[in-house]
Structure 1
């Protein structure tokens, strides 16, 4: 007897409802990783070891993100549930945020415990959630849906940047920022939970492609090279992103814009992130729809080339206005990549019988590169100790190399435009 699996003909769901959870998750990670955690870690361990400890914390969280999604995704395939996992994962995520927000005075270990709970909850929800796009959306519409998801992701990051600029002020005290992250994440997840039904469990046709073993999955050309390409883009992103606040403080130093002094690197990093996101929003929907017509690869070529060029030019330490211009250019590439990311991953799925597991494994290509923050943080501190700002030259140069390598290797994806 064939085990019950998920029925191929499913009701149409709104791309906005489907992508709502990604809005809250994007707001959550931007504010947490780029604004709140760098400042908290420096407060806990001091300036001399900030890069090492921030990299360590992020690396430990990435271990959870590496192991959990494929396991949870595989189990969600077996029981035929997706939304239930999102519900419980978000609850754990919110609990972890509150531990981080109100446990800073208890020391680094409590802060770490809260962050690991955040990682556990978010990844518990993400693997089953990732399966919803290939499950519900026909291949010819995946670029459009992926574009909407990219737009909401960048909009969530935009809101995170605005809130981040106010963190530490009387408007948004630090503890309130953690509460806001929990509220936005919870409400956006609620839209997806209420508006996207659980896929009904029924038998798949006998001629449906079989579920592949892990080795067989990576032997499949499209999946392997899409996985590698996504990992390289993520390596580039995570080689630079966590250290932007430190880069602005140590390399740029002065933060004047149109005659206004922004005061400190925390505020300046929020403004820089806003510039990246504005550029991303400008390219996201257009690139997603173009990818349905022209193919995914041309969009990836554009995205990687632009992001690499911007990372290299930042090494020259331009005035803060120039930094913002480069951030805007980087955002154009980042938005273009974001717009096709989910569509490219969905196109590479080999079997309907294992969407949850396979998208969970694909998600590892996004989160596993967070492990690079640990050696990159040590490289940053080591290089800067040898020579002022040498660490930033090494880290940003490596990021550019990752982006360019992703552009080259995406050409190896067969049977996908």
Structure 2
């Protein structure tokens, strides 16, 4: 299929969705969506930034790196499967409250239960089980929340909404890191994150704004059709394929850069203060500059109707920041890199999300298709520890690791140019 055919199909799909969609979402709904999304990211990144690393250090002090790699890798593998599956199930849900809200409720509740399991874990096996439950459940909520955007928001406003989702993402990372730092221990950190995740979803659920699906319009379920639907032929939908690949490369770069930040400060920078506090400071600085660009870049992208230039230049900035971590391994260097990284990711987060919603193959399967896109978020979490652990240990340490991360971001930035149907 040609790029023009893909664009026409996407336009037709958007027209069908627009005919069925309710009135455009207002600011209250966007705020509730962003808050619920923030809660999901707190549930993920309180553990990922600090708690899992500290737990691995407590349980296996001599093998903390490999233990962390095992736990996060298995959990990310679960995430990679869960997101598209729950997205596809939400497309077919006929609950009276709508297609997406039931999965937000179940996902947040299950994620909180997984965090409680982690708070009680006394073995690596229990940590893996708890983290897999967190990933399974929170991906159900995340798939439903992201699919609600093209359901409720017209294309001309998706850059703006993507910007606020970017705010909630970085806010979730910062809040999760802060809660994990000040909670007073690993177990308390998990419990505080669990409570926050549940409370953050309440306003969104109470608004009950969702797109219901009539049972009469739900297609008959066939396992073969359901499973084969997750393969989206890159020959028929090349722009979707390129969007997936570039997002995968950017997220692999980011996962490599952040997953070992605690150990980077202790082992490479030789940070003299408390390393947990150091991670919190860097996360806060990253959030500060990210927030300065994430909403405004989304708005400007909506106004100009252009997506690719913003994504390309933000990728170049991200690559530069990552390379700084490779060559300038001091506390000052880490601070500067965090500030620059935030600038790049602010633009990337909002505009790339809008770009992705512009290349979805069909309106009827948005949850499934965004779930397939989200594999590009989860798969890097599987691969990052597999790559990082041997590189740090045997092939050049943190200099080689962050140089490789910079090369990945550069490749992701350049390949965005292959997307044809989006300006």
| TM class, shorter-length | 0.7 to 0.9
Q: 2:68 aligns with which of 54, 74, 93?
A: 54
Deviations 1:103-126 (A, max 9, x none): 2xx211111111111111111222
Which consecutive residues of structure 1, in runs of 5 or more, have no partner in the other structure?
Answer: 205-210, 256-262
Counterparts of 1:186 and 1:379, CA distance in 2:
37
In 2 relative to 1, CA 217–20 (structure 1 residues): closer, same or farther, beyond 3 Å? farther
8 A contact 2:314–2:344 mirrored in 1: yes
Partner of 2:412: 406
Where 1:369 maps in the other structure, the secondary structure is helix
Which consecutive residues of structure 2, in runs of 5 or more, have no partner in the other structure?
Answer: 1-15, 218-225
Partner of 2:257: 240
Q: 1:95 aligns with which of 113, 120, 131?
A: 113
Q: 1:77 aligns with which of 91, 103, 106?
A: 91
How far apart are 1:218 and its partner, in Å? 3.2
Partner of 2:4: none
8 A contact 1:142–1:292 mirrored in 2: yes
How far apart are 1:100 and its partner, in Å? 0.3
Partner of 2:282: 272
How far apart are 1:216 and its partner, in Å? 4.4
Where 2:20 maps in the other structure, the secondary structure is coil
Instruction: Note the aligned Cα RMSD (angstroms).
Output: 2.1
Q: 2:198 aligns with which of 186, 195, 220?
A: 186
8 A contact 1:164–1:267 mirrored in 2: no
Q: 2:210 aligns with which of 198, 201, 218?
A: 198
Counterparts of 2:104 and 2:38, CA distance in 1:
14
Q: 2:149 aligns with which of 103, 111, 133?
A: 133
Alignment pair present for 1:11 and 2:23: yes
Q: How does 1:99-248 map to 2 (within 5 A)?
A: 99-103=117-121, 106-167=122-183, 172-201=184-213, 213-219=229-235, 220-248=237-265
Partner of 1:207: none
Alignment pair present for 1:28 and 2:38: no
The TM-score normalised by the length of structure 2 is: 0.87
Deviations 1:76-129 (A, max 9, x none): 2122421101111111111000010122xx211111111111111111222222
Where 1:218 maps in the other structure, the secondary structure is coil
Q: 2:294 aligns with which of 266, 284, 291?
A: 284
Q: 1:328 aligns with which of 339, 344, 355?
A: 339
8 A contact 2:174–2:280 mirrored in 1: no
Deviations 1:350-404 (A, max 9, x none): 2111111111111111111111123124324432xx7xxx221221111111100
Counterparts of 1:379 and 1:240, CA distance in 2:
15
Alignment pair present for 1:296 and 2:307: yes
8 A contact 2:298–2:351 mirrored in 1: yes
Q: How many residue pairs get matched?
A: 388
Partner of 2:323: 312
